[in-house]
């Protein structure tokens, strides 16, 4: 998703400093224990990229991770003691998103169901850190370095969405042309494709590719997201050149949901889609 506008004062809420400090403590304790990020991640059921992002303060350390890490790393309750502050900071973290985006971000965070069709670039919720940084670095008019890093951190923080329990029901339809565009260069592109494979193999996720070769297409407009916040009716969200629109009208949502169903029916099956991505990586 595209982002626009400068941050408002509400974004400077102090959460970044806390997450950075906790991440540094975690790194020192892990290294003292003689564990690599991969080894430690395997013990706490996190990937090495996630551990790296947490240690650098660009991803929020979840309370359950801090509980496990405290025991595994012999921290002597050092990490457990900061859990109340981390929970408070997590509650504030939603305001880190630009003001125009916050209503949607709040709904996304509590969604029990999310279905997205994207057309121009990989959805922010699915992006790697390097891909996200490339997107913001290439933005025009240009953003300053501090803003880029803040935007990347905020985008990565949204990916805690996949760590909720019970897990939300998700499906993602991606245009094949998105997968073929090497944003950030070959290495970043390959990393993003591997990220899509990882997420697409989750039990609660179905990832499908819309093949370019189709001569008919039910939606040549912009992409959109359908989601159901907990205890609420389904809504839709879309952007045009950075201008957001949250759709709550039942009839408009119904039309988009029907359109999504048609797109999903024309896209490659999930297993075919993952095979296509593997072939693009040279793994087939």
Every domain of the chain and the residues it spans: 9-93, 98-280
Residue 65 has pLDDT above 50, yes or no: yes
Predicted local distance difference test score (pLDDT) of residue 76 = 92
pLDDT, the chain, mean: 85
Residue 260 sits at the vertex; the CA angle it makes with 176 and 203, to the nearest 5 degrees, is 75
What is the predicted pLDDT for the residue at 50? 79
Residue 99's pLDDT is 53
Q: Write down the pLDDT at residue 101.
A: 61
Work out the average pLDDT over 86-100: 62
pLDDT at 227 (0 to 100): 94
Tokens of 211: 């093949």
Res. 9 pLDDT band, cuts 50 70 90: very low
| CATH class held by domain 98-280 | alpha beta
- Average pLDDT for residues 59-69, to the nearest whole number? 86
Q: What band does 109 get if pLDDT is binned at 50, 70 and 90?
A: confident
Among the listed residues 166, 164, 200, the one whose alpha carbon sits nearest the alpha carbon of residue 276 = 200
Share above pLDDT 90 across residues of the chain, in percent, rounded to a whole number = 51
Residue by residue, DSSP assigns the chain as ----SPPPGGG-SSHHHHHHHHHHHHHHHHHHTT--HHHHHHHHT--HHHHHHHHTTSS---HHHHHHHHHHTT-TTHHHHTHHHHHHHHHHHGGGS-GGGHHHHHHHHTEEEEEEEESSS--GGG--HHHHHHHHHT-SSPPPHHHHHHHHHHHHHGGGGGG-SSPPEEEEEEEHHHHHS-TT-HHHHHHHHHHHHHHHTSTTEEEEEE-TT-S--S--S--EEEEEETTS--EEEEEETTEEEEE--HHHHHHHHHHHHHHHHHSPPHHHHHHHHHHHTT--
Is the whole-model pTM more than 0.95? no
The per-residue pLDDT for range 266-281, each reduced to its tens digit, is: 999 999 999 999 999 9
Report residue 242's pLDDT band, with 50, 70 and 90 as the boundaries. Answer: low
More confident residue, 43 or 220: 43
Tokens 């008919």 — which residue?
A: 216
Closest by CA position to 70, among listed 60, 80, 81? 80
pLDDT band at 243 (very low <50, low <70, confident <90, very high): confident
Once rounded to an integer, what is the mean pLDDT over residues 181-198?
A: 95
Whole-angstrom distance, CA of residue 37 vs CA of residue 49 = 8
Same CATH fold, 98-280 and 9-93? Answer: no
Could you tell me the two tokens for 277? 């991505």
pLDDT at 261 over 50: yes
Statement: residue 151 has pLDDT above 60: yes
Q: 94-98, 127-131, 185-189, 267-271: which has the minimum mean pLDDT?
A: 94-98
Decide if pLDDT at 114 tops 90.
yes
The Cα–Cα gap between 14 and 27 comes to 21
9-93 is a CATH 2.40.10.10 domain:
no
Asked if residues 202 and 236 have their Cβ atoms less than 8 Å apart, the reply is: no
pLDDT at position 164 is: 83
User: Which of 118, 120, 31, 18 is closest to 61 using CA atoms?
Assistant: 18
Q: What is the pLDDT of residue 92?
A: 62
Please determine, for residue 96, whether its predicted confidence score (pLDDT) is greater than 80: no
């Amino acid at each position: 998703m595209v982002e626009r506008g400068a941050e408002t004062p509400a974004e400077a809420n102090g959460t970044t400093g806390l997450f950075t400090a906790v991440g540094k403590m975690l790194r020192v304790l892990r290294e003292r224990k003689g564990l690599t990020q991969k080894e430690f991640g395997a013990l706490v059921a996190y990937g090495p990229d996630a551990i790296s992002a947490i240690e650098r303060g660009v991803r929020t350390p979840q309370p359950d991770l801090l509980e496990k890490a405290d025991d595994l790393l012999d921290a002597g309750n050092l990490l457990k003691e900061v859990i109340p502050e981390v929970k408070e900071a997590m509650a504030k973290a939603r305001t880190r998103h630009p003001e125009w985006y916050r209503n949607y971000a709040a709904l996304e965070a509590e969604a029990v169901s999310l279905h997205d069709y994207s057309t121009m670039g990989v959805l922010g919720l699915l992006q790697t850190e390097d891909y996200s940084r490339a997107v913001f670095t290439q933005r025009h008019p240009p953003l300053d370095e501090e803003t880029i890093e803040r935007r990347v951190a905020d985008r990565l923080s949204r990916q805690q969405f996949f760590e909720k329990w019970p897990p939300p029901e998700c499906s993602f339809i991606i245009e094949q042309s998105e997968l073929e565009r090497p944003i950030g260069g070959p290495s970043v592109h390959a990393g993003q494709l591997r990220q899509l494979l990882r997420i697409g193999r989750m039990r609660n996720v179905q990832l499908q590719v819309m093949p370019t070769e189709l001569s008919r297409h039910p939606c040549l407009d912009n992409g959109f997201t359908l989601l159901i916040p907990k205890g609420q009716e389904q809504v839709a969200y879309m952007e045009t050149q950075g201008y957001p629109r949250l759709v709550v009208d039942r009839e408009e949502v119904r039309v988009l949901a029907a359109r999504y169903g048609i797109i999903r029916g024309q896209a490659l099956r999930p297993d075919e889609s993952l095979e296509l991505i593997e072939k693009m990586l040279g793994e087939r």
